[in-house]
Amino acid sequence: QRYCQDVYRGKLASVHSASRNEELQKLARTYTFHAPWIGAVTSRRAGQWESYWEDSSPWNFANWAPTHPFHIFTTCTTLSTRDGLWRSRACFQLRPFICQY
């Protein structure tokens, strides 16, 4: 998140539709086999778990893989280049990312 902001003056991508999800999946697949970061974060707020976009845009679409998101600790989200599904991951992992600006 910080690299996207500091270098590109952007935010990790938010996804608000199935068509946008597919577009980003195809884009990522042209550059990497690794699932890149997108801007969804899941954390505990006011005593309950919720997912939100880093850019503060409305949470109006989700494409979670079965058993995701995790509700154990704050997680960031990857977009699978293989199936387009989202998975919770520990935020410190080094991965490719999709930055929007």
Count other C-beta atoms under 10 Å from residue 1's C-beta: 16
What are 3-56's pLDDT values in tens digits? Answer: 999 999 999 999 999 999 999 999 999 998 899 999 999 999 889 999 999 999
pLDDT at 90 over 90: yes
Which CATH number goes with the domain that contains 84?
Answer: 3.10.100.10
Q: How many domains does the chain have?
A: 1
Q: Residue 101 — pLDDT band, cuts 50, 70, 90?
A: confident
- The pTM is what? 0.93
Which H or E run includes 90? Answer: none
Nearest CA-CA partner of 13 in 45, 35, 43: 35
Which domain range does residue 45 map to?
2-100
